[in-house]
Chains A and B, each alone.
Chain A
């Protein structure tokens, strides 16, 4: 067999040889291959994002026979709709484990009444705040006379582990002369209050209003205008190393907080927060500058 020079062995243009059926099959195959080669959309480096949430905070993030409810859960639903990525069902998290769960990659995002602080910003990134609140006091039927800080002097005040509220109670206990009681989680403190073992529960007012509504028949009430410590700013926690995704989420959050959807979500989840004065909702609304100053940073911008 004589060798044919390479230049003479050039194959004719294939289109001239293709029957219409083969052409259609090839086109379909190429289309299929191109579809399967397209990478799945990712967020935070994941094709499927796992969100950690509380399941024991009525009004914020609560799970019962009817399913999940609360402001944090509504926010999660908006985020899920906004991002072009799959989400798994929320996984439960305790206040104490929020950072550890993100750092150990057991969760990719935490929406769990997570206060932004400089200390936490060193370990994780925040997108937020999406809500501003203050630390207040929840009392039971026995605490009808509690109106001021002096009325709590010498009494047992419950907070739970891993929260900024606990730090504030520790920080102010000398001047306030409370007897702090630290429990594992919120439900332990509420049980202690209902059982008369503590005189008050102290944490963020948004959480307290949720419990007051949930336990209305038990006579729990938030002491109006009684605040302690600094304002708290709730943010969405994500692991460090995803600044692009973080900024994308922050841009969306600014739009959300400025929209009527945000006000409706508050009104739906925490109706007692602004009971009798709808304008009070705005006290809890963070500004765009506040979001810019705290989102996706290692330390807050002045």
Chain B
């Protein structure tokens, strides 16, 4: 194959066995990344047919990333969404030929490659979050009994938790007899994983987050909650938030 380059004009010629096939693949490759081969030498055609395949590829990769997205707080997905969004915008700019009058074939190739790279990063990032990101497990967390008095032991159970290194738990305490008592300010809790005194967190008040280290995969996570309040007070305890994270 010879490459005869004069100024902006490029002519490609191939010789030998299989040369036509190699030439066609190369042409396809160039078409995908740079645009219509009849046009990429000069100005790119706006809305050209060869501009669409990389765009649809980026759209497909972005859709896959969204489909495999795990649950959890939305802020952890920020950079992934930024990557996918940027990929789509760049790919679309490439389709409509933004700056095509001044841009060279290399610049167009960079736009295509960059958008594809960002879309792939979106998928990789989402896959990473699915394995290591924060997972909201409030819906599968139960506390029983839901009310208690001074000295009561309550038990929080997270069923079928995904494997993560830490549990963040936020419990809310309220007066169980709101017409007859005002005990919330005088109520505290002591939380710990069963049979693990090292994990004890005392003097926890309503709405205060508590972190527990977890070890390995398990079919459920259990946290014991000891209620400390004034004698005669009956308190309701509920799970405001339970989240697993690394």
Chain A residues engaging chain B, CB cutoff 8 angstroms? 115-119, 134-135, 164, 167-168, 171, 227-233, 289-290, 293-294, 299-302
Contact = CB atoms under 8 A, between A and B. Distances in A.
Nearest to A169: B180
Contacts of B231: 227, 231
B209 interface: no
B186 interface: yes
A302 B205 contact: yes
Nearest to B233: A230
A115 B232 contact: no
A294 B184 CA distance: 10
Contact of A227 (B183, B184, B232): B232
B185 A290 contact: yes
B178 interface: yes
A233 B173 contact: no
B181 A164 contact: yes
Contact of B177 (A134, A171, A228): A171
Contacts of B208: 302
List 5 A-B pairs, minimum CB-CB distance, nearest first. Answer: A230-B181, A293-B185, A302-B206, A167-B180, A118-B178
A117 B205 contact: no
B245 interface: no
SS of B interface (majority): loop
Interface in B65-98: none
A229 B185 contact: no
Contacts of A231: 181, 183, 230-233
Contacts of A301: 185
Contacts of A232: 181
Contact of A115 (B182, B185, B205): B182
Given A293-B185, A302-B206, 5 more contacts: A115-B182, A167-B180, A171-B180, A231-B232, A290-B186
Interface in B163-194: 173-175, 177-187
B207 interface: yes
A79 B185 CA distance: 26
A117 B187 contact: no
Nearest to A120: B179
Interface string B223-235: 0000000111110
Residue among B182, B206, B234 with max Cβ neighbours from chain A (10 Å): B182
Given A164-B179, A171-B177, A290-B186, A230 B230 contact: yes
Contacts of A290: 185-186
Contacts of B207: 302
A233 B182 CA distance: 7
Interface of B: 173-175, 177-187, 205-208, 230-234
B180 A168 contact: yes
Contacts of A289: 185
Contacts of A171: 177, 180
Contact of B232 (A116, A119, A230, A233): A230
A229 B181 contact: yes
A230 B205 contact: no
Contacts of B180: 115, 117, 164, 167-168, 171, 229-230
Given A227-B231, A230-B230, A231-B232, A119 B179 contact: yes
Contacts of B182: 115-118, 230, 233, 294, 300
Nearest to A292: B185
B185 A117 contact: no
B186 to A, nearest CB: 7
Contacts of B175: 117-118
B180 to A, nearest CB: 4
Contacts of B184: 118, 293, 299-300, 302
Nearest to A166: B180
A119 B182 CA distance: 9
5 contacts: A164-B180, A231-B230, A231-B231, A231-B233, A302-B187
Contacts of B186: 290
Nearest to B231: A227
Given A230-B183, A290-B185, A293-B185, A119 B178 contact: yes
Nearest to A235: B182
A14 to B, nearest CB: 65
A134 B185 contact: no
B202 to A, nearest CB: 15
A28 B235 CA distance: 66
A167 B208 CA distance: 30
A164 B177 CA distance: 10
Nearest to A171: B177
Nearest to B172: A302
Contacts of B183: 230-231
A302 B173 contact: yes
Nearest to B181: A230
Nearest to B234: A230
Contacts of A230: 177, 180-183, 230, 232-234
Contacts of B234: 230
A229 B187 CA distance: 15
Contacts of B205: 302
